[in-house]
A and B are shown apart, each in its own frame.
Chain A
């Protein structure tokens, strides 16, 4: 019996030692040269910009070689983590699935590593702090950010006799109507503004910010029906659609070029104003450098909100089965907090640098169009969408409702929003594994 007990004790001891070694090995540093693989979403020209900045890191760290792989999306990241073939560092173009990554442990908790390196989350603006964590676990850091504002065509503005960008929703509506031109057959020739949800960057979260509407209460329950901003935005959108004509808009939209091509409707002058992200500045520069346009914050329903906007952006993290987690953390830390690296990336990609310090970096190439987005990013009223266990399906369900509303398929807005609240809460509960409420 004693022998058995001794054997059990020995096994427990060996097991404990093995676990401890494994835990340490997870973030231990390799002694020889290390090859890190980084997966990012960028491709083509943008991938080249990222590779150039990473090459600087390579040069400064002779023991590390970084291999960058582009055109990665969340599906590939999850599949690689599952298969045990994940790279050392992963990056996603948006934060919608942070809830899944953090709660599942698919991306490791960066909290202890940040603490160890003396990095505080306050380096980053509040919205980015929020969308890189879930339920207190910070498994990602922002790597540049995207925010959204108004692009307006100055030539069309001048010919319509409009002196500057609208600042209020009333001005936006009046300008959009003035800028809309119809063909003799009644079809749209030039559209002042396309409010359709689903068109280019138009999703509810990027519009409703202008009405200051919130998504969740203190208990993380959906409160869309209780926030007047939601119904005000939807009613405004419908009234403008009714003025233009739903079918006319559908037909006009069907003939527009793809968003990420040189045929983009704003770039070719078919759309006088458009909600878009800061990256459009670089696209216009590359595709239509002679376009006379301006950028401004989105007009708002409340004057106090003017200057703010919707923020989201690229996130970066370390997958749970990455082989060189210590070296990976060094690279993540450098990419997300080094002002020079962020400024270089921002200059090349025309994305917003994501730390407070880099926003005012002297290395940033001055650009009047882009400066608007730096200000929106720094505005304390700028917000983002909720990070929930349901991931992207949460905002997609709201989008689904908005598209039905804009098509006139929702008879009662208030009861529709109430029902949407219930569905959203049920969806989150289901995503957490709790089943039907």
Chain B
């Protein structure tokens, strides 16, 4: 046996071992793929395909009944330069994200903090604060429009007895979004539960150490609680922003009911989406109107693409920015 043959025969088992490892890895990957396949199929059919189609349709004139016709960037040009309602809808959506989302995070964190400190009746109050989250959005909105009716609603009647002239709530463009915000705050049960779990999970010894160092309640909140639960805050903010960008049901129902045309919710001629004065016309409502009452699905798809891009950009900005303030394990920064 020559030296070369000896080295080849010595290398063979190593090659065989590598091949065996590769075969084993490939088998594992196939198994993983097989196990993932139901989700992958669902993702491809219900997310991937609609996304690709939506992107394609955004460059087409498509009325849902006749075949799509390529129009290039015409839908985008119309959206950015002509459509008189797009900017109103964007402004309304941004208002909700800028005002409602932070308030929801603060409110749910505040309730969670109080519940975490409750000496007795914690279970009862947890249930009370969580219950509104179980109410269907349509029913909750109907109830709020009724309660906040400026003429017959109990809130303004009580305010009247106290000598206060109540606002017009859902009937006033200046008050309609704050009214939706109150509705949003009422239903923060899900976020509150997540915050409660996070607050209860803060190690006691951190508070004890802080107390030994002379930290007061505010300092403990600032330097112990918030840094420790910062990943949950990040989660709540991202979730809130995405939900804010997709905010639809409450705005749609409130406009229909407040305009006095609840019985005609499906009547395309009612023209009351965004009532009053387009103040509740949020971006998804306008998108819905163009797609499903005007039957301009090509244009609605262009609007959806913009929404996707904005959602992605906003989330990216929050995530990148979060590195500065979110606690990544170990000591708080």
Contacts and interface: CB of A to CB of B under 8 A. Distances in A.
A203 B269 contact: yes
A312 B49 CA distance: 40
Contacts of A100: 63, 65, 295
A431 B72 CA distance: 14
A397 to B, nearest CB: 7
Contacts of A104: 63-66
Contacts of B272: 198
B63 A198 contact: no
Interface in B134-192: 149-152, 168, 171-173
A203 B270 CA distance: 8
B271 A395 contact: yes
Given A433-B61, A436-B74, A395 B168 contact: no
Interface stretch (A13-21, A129-137, A245-253, A297-305): A245-253
B271 A203 contact: yes
B325 interface: no
A98 to B, nearest CB: 12
B92 to A, nearest CB: 14
B172 A250 contact: yes
B81 interface: yes
Interface in B52-109: 61, 63-66, 69, 71-72, 74-75, 77-78, 81-82, 84-85
A78 B295 contact: yes
A73 B268 contact: yes
Interface in A147-201: 198-200
Interface string A270-287: 000000000000000000
Contacts of B149: 254-255
Nearest to B82: A426
Interface in B276-310: 276-278, 289-290, 292-296, 298-299
Interface residues of B, number: 51
B251 to A, nearest CB: 16
Contacts of B293: 74-75, 391-393
Interface in A369-423: 390-393, 395-397, 399-400, 403-404, 407, 409, 423
B275 interface: yes
Nearest to B168: A250
A261 B263 contact: yes
Contacts of B299: 430
B245 to A, nearest CB: 23
B62 to A, nearest CB: 9
A255 B146 CA distance: 10
B82 A392 contact: no
B288 to A, nearest CB: 10
A96 B150 contact: no
B294 A200 contact: no
Interface stretch (B6-14, B221-229, B235-243, B254-262): B254-262
A127 interface: no
B269 A73 contact: no
A330 B84 CA distance: 45
A119 B210 CA distance: 91
Contacts of B64: 78, 82, 104
B331 interface: no
A259 B263 contact: yes
Contacts of A407: 173, 276-277
B277 to A, nearest CB: 6
B57 to A, nearest CB: 12
A259 B150 contact: no
A101 B65 contact: yes
A434 interface: yes
B266 interface: yes
B264 interface: yes
Contact of B275 (A74, A93, A198, A432): A198
Nearest to B166: A251
A11 B151 CA distance: 74
Nearest to A423: B84
A400 B271 contact: yes
A272 B173 CA distance: 28
A395 B272 CA distance: 12
A203 B292 CA distance: 21
B171 A430 contact: no
Contacts of B264: 259-260
A268 interface: no
A435 B263 contact: no
Given A254-B151, A436-B78, A399 B260 contact: no
B194 to A, nearest CB: 36
A113 interface: no
Of B66, B69, B262, chain A has the most CB atoms within 10 Å of the CB of B66
Contact of B78 (A97, A252, A426): A426
Contacts of A427: 82
B65 A81 contact: yes
A399 B261 CA distance: 15
Contacts of B81: 436
B77 A96 contact: no
A253 B260 contact: yes
Interface in A112-127: none
A242 interface: no
B110 to A, nearest CB: 32
B268 A96 contact: yes
B267 interface: yes
A289 interface: no
A105 B296 CA distance: 15
A432 to B, nearest CB: 8
A258 interface: yes
Contacts of A436: 74, 77-78, 81-82
Q: Which 10 A-B pairs have the closest CB atoms?
A: A435-B74, A255-B151, A433-B61, A106-B65, A104-B65, A104-B66, A396-B271, A393-B294, A399-B271, A260-B263
27 contacts: A74-B268, A78-B295, A81-B65, A82-B64, A97-B268, A100-B63, A104-B63, A198-B259, A199-B260, A200-B261, A251-B150, A251-B171, A254-B260, A255-B149, A259-B263, A260-B263, A261-B263, A320-B65, A392-B293, A393-B293, A395-B269, A395-B271, A407-B173, A407-B277, A431-B294, A433-B71, A435-B77
Given A73-B266, A251-B171, A254-B171, 8 more contacts: A96-B269, A103-B66, A104-B66, A250-B150, A258-B260, A260-B263, A430-B299, A431-B294
